[in-house]
Structure 1
């Protein structure tokens, strides 16, 4: 996910004048606060709610005055961590840079389980609902579009209200053990088909052992579609 960068050019009316004076800890905290206020306003337009606090800045800090406007950016993505660092950078005649820690909580709508879900259960729209959650509480990411869950199954049991993250989802097997499959032996544009039986489970692109029902030979094939595998000739 792209880390949003807000330059201090848009904050020039709020920042302290530093052309002649040293940059102090108070100045750095004010800049970080203004930066986070602007970012929170941006997230509000996207339907998200943000709370934050700025970490400690050593009160003894004294940096050179910044001849131009300093630039602030997130050093880590605030949508995947609740403890992002903010990089404050001056590129004037006497350049400097420093990091400010922050505690950031971002709340917004995400998909959650509307009831307990069991391992291997195929998801349906009735099993999922949308609720406000802390979006950056997990590094796994969150999901907001129900359409991406279509046909997916759950890797492990989850409780009602659990946020649905990508690591909880598994694509169903295209081929399951015992399925009768079409075996395609291919060489360039030439191919020969035969019937076989799957000896294991596999998703599309995964390898699976199959038994050729005509020759009784066991072959290693690649699942290319439900009920269809390929082997090289």
Structure 2
């Protein structure tokens, strides 16, 4: 009887361990497919149309089984590039991570020029229109809110139908040479104001030389609003 028990135990321990199911290429593609489809559904609610195709995944791929839910995220912005990567990662005792590429075309409304625009022209709603374009055709991005670009200036000539991108526009000067301005000297919650004259052009956030009309001193100030500049109190 003892011999039979020992033989049975030896037989059990000699059997190969049952292999855990590996994470295969098909599993990875399925994860990527679900992730992209969920994202595409979300974009549809934002009035954007998404077409996508998942890149190649090596059929020989075999990764450790994932104990929990794998984490998926874009490694690059799919609204800024037509070839974004997705990072799929799994934590646990045998963690792994891998990248999967995709071909993505994102279509949606964007602002385009309704007529030719000249260099230095200030934008108005009459010069602009909205049209469906491929949003991720260029890494320069697109513009979708007309209220954000009203009054902006065009950096260079633009043809009718051109998709407006941030690099095509610049903020107009908030202060021009010769303008009378309010100089605000500030330290903490205490401030003193005086009148001055701008010695150059500058937009909000830029620095400009200003002559203090009372002391006749020239100071370098930061433009904080049209007609207003700020300097640190000495």
TM-score between both structures, scaled by the size of structure 1 = 0.78
Q: Give the gaps of 5 or more residues in structure 2.
A: 1-18
Deviations 1:31-67 (A, max 9, x none): 2122212221221122111111111111221222334
Q: Equivalents in 1 of 2:93, 2:191: separation in Å?
A: 69
Residue 173 of structure 2 aligns with which residue? Answer: 173
**8 Å CA contact retained: 2:182, 2:193:** no
**Residue correspondence of structure 1 range 2-17 to structure 2 within 5 A:** none
Runs (4+) off by over 6 Å: 185-188
**Partner-residue secondary structure (3-state), 2:27:** helix
Matching residue of 2:204: 204
TM-score (norm 2): 0.77
Counterpart for residue 5 of structure 2? none
RMSD: 2.7
1:50 is aligned to: 50
Which structure: larger Rg? 2
Q: Aligned residue for 1:98?
A: 98
SS of structure 2 residue aligned to 1:89: strand
Structure 1: gaps spanning 5 or more residues: 1-18
Matches within 5 A, 1:124-139: 124-139=124-139
- Say which is worse superposed, 100-109 or 219-228, in terms of deviation: 219-228
Matched, 1:110 2:102: no
Name the structure 1 match of 2:4: none
Measure how far apart 1:228 and its partner are: 3.8
> Does the C-alpha gap of structure 1 residues 22 and 128 become closer, same or farther in structure 2, counting only changes over 3 Å?
same
1:66 corresponding residue in structure 2: 66
How many matched pairs?
214
- 1:193 corresponding residue in structure 2: 194
The 1:185–1:89 alpha-carbon spacing in structure 2 relative to 1, beyond 3 Å, is closer
User: CA deviation digits over 1:97-146, x for unaligned, max 9?
Assistant: 21111111111111111111112111100111111111122333322111
Between stretches 36-45 and 104-113, larger displacement belongs to 36-45
| Match of residue 5 from structure 1 | none
What do the CA deviations read for 1:189-226 (whole angstroms, capped 9, x no partner)?
Answer: 464634x5432101233222244567765443433433
